[in-house]
Homo-oligomer: A and B are copies of this chain.
Amino acid sequence: MLGRVNHIALAVPDLAAAVETYRTTLGATVTEPQALPEHGVTVVFVTLPNTKVELLEPLGPQSSIAAFLAKNPAGGMHHICYEVEDIIAARDHLLLSGARVLGDGNPRIGAHGKPVLFLHPKDFWGTLIELEQV
């Protein structure tokens, strides 16, 4: 079921400063910031040869990552996104296995314009997993 690692998402409290760290200290290629108010984040991508790292800064009061940063003020690793071929088939298999899908169980359109689901970290050894149909 699991396909490519689409991205690894890191929450940061100060996106401009984090971009500077990745660009200058780590010598990586970083995209321009994109505000995604419907997801409550501003995002940049660190482009790597085989996948990407997504740096997320909270945007607005409803941000999904504000609670994470309240617990981890310096920032930290937030989730891993895996690609799947068929997100409905993946969801149904997960539910039959007893795993919990966050929200109402229906895929929503994610930050990349594709259907996504998030899985409960308590069912996956403390790691928040996003599935994206590509």
Contact = CB atoms under 8 A, between A and B. Distances in A.
Interface of A: 1-5, 8, 10-13, 18, 21-22, 24-28, 46, 48-51, 53, 55, 72, 74-77, 80, 82, 93-94, 97-99, 121-127, 129
28 contacts: A1-B28, A2-B22, A2-B26, A2-B27, A2-B28, A3-B48, A3-B49, A4-B49, A4-B50, A4-B51, A8-B80, A10-B125, A10-B127, A11-B126, A12-B125, A21-B123, A25-B93, A25-B94, A25-B97, A26-B129, A48-B82, A74-B126, A75-B125, A75-B126, A76-B77, A76-B126, A77-B77, A77-B127
B53 A50 contact: no
A18 B123 CA distance: 10
A65 to B, nearest CB: 12
A93 B21 CA distance: 12
Q: How many copies does the complex hold?
A: 2
B50 A51 contact: yes
